[in-house]
Structure 1
Amino acid sequence: MALEIVGKLIKVLPEVNGQSQKGPWSKQEFVIETLEAQYPKKVCMTAWGEKVNDLKQFAEGDTLKATFSAESREYNERWYTELRAFRIELAEGGDSAAAYSAPSRPAQAPTEAPRSRPAQQSQPAAVPFNTSFDDESNDLPF
């Protein structure tokens, strides 16, 4: 399952190296902030092996597109989830956040004549908070 995320690179964490039975390994975590206008999300991802070198070519503030897979594992009855990036590239349009705004609708010709709107009624004056209402003045149908 391949997933994609587009966002601004906001942090690159230190590289971690180690040795296993299969040989040396390296990984590096990085944080991307999504380009959602109202509620941007921060997502921590992991680059393994050769992808660590790919990550070094980007600077903080670059707009990236990361293709990743999500994997969870259990250890001591706790679950841990990792987002493993297997492709990291500059997003189309460089590091401009404006390139990822919602697409605008094409202009459409009106298909029918505009309907006349009823005259807008003026709003009643505000009622003081401590005003009490009796049952007769209540015009609700229930």
Structure 2
Amino acid sequence: MEISGKVIQALVEQSGNGRNGTWRKRDYVIETGGNYPKKVCVTVWGDKIDQFDLKVGEEVSVGIELESREYNGKWYTDVKVWKVNKGGSPTKGSVVSEPDVTTFNDESGDDILPF
């Protein structure tokens, strides 16, 4: 999955020790463009923090992985970044994985809703 937008906030890097050794993570808030912009908090882990070197104000397109886990009856979702293209993408400022739903007609003008 991929989203594109502008980095509007870089949160403080966090680190700690776990059963697999030390870990680092940094959260960034990306705002998509379009008529209904969304803010998405994404997480970069480990050495990718330095490799991607995201800065506030940059236009980016990020490859993300979604993962949810349950803890004590509550569910938590992570949006992990695995790829970054700086400068956005051809569909800059939009959520690439979502279809365009501005119309409910096909090219010929026929209604495509099943109900």
TM-score band (shorter)? 0.7 to 0.9
Q: Normalization by structure 1: what TM-score?
A: 0.60
The alignment yields a C-alpha RMSD, in angstroms, of: 2.2
Aligned length: 94
Partner of 2:59: 63
CA distance in 2, matches of 1:30, 1:47: 8
Q: Which runs of 5+ in 1 are unaligned?
A: 103-142
Correspondences of 1:1-142 after superposition (within 5 Å): 3-36=1-34, 38-56=35-53, 58-92=54-88, 100=92
Tell me by how many angstroms 1:65 deviates. 0.8
Tell me by how many angstroms 1:88 deviates. 1.7
1:67 match: secondary structure = strand
Alignment-mate amino acid for residue 89 of structure 1: N
Partner of 1:114: none
Alignment-mate amino acid for residue 86 of structure 2: L
Q: Normalization by structure 2: what TM-score?
A: 0.73
Q: Which has the higher strand share?
A: 2
Tell me by how many angstroms 1:23 deviates. 1.3
Per-residue deviation, residues 59-102 of structure 1 (Å, max 9, x unmatched): 21110011010000011111110100011220357xxxx97389
Higher relative contact order (CA 8 A, sep 6+): 2
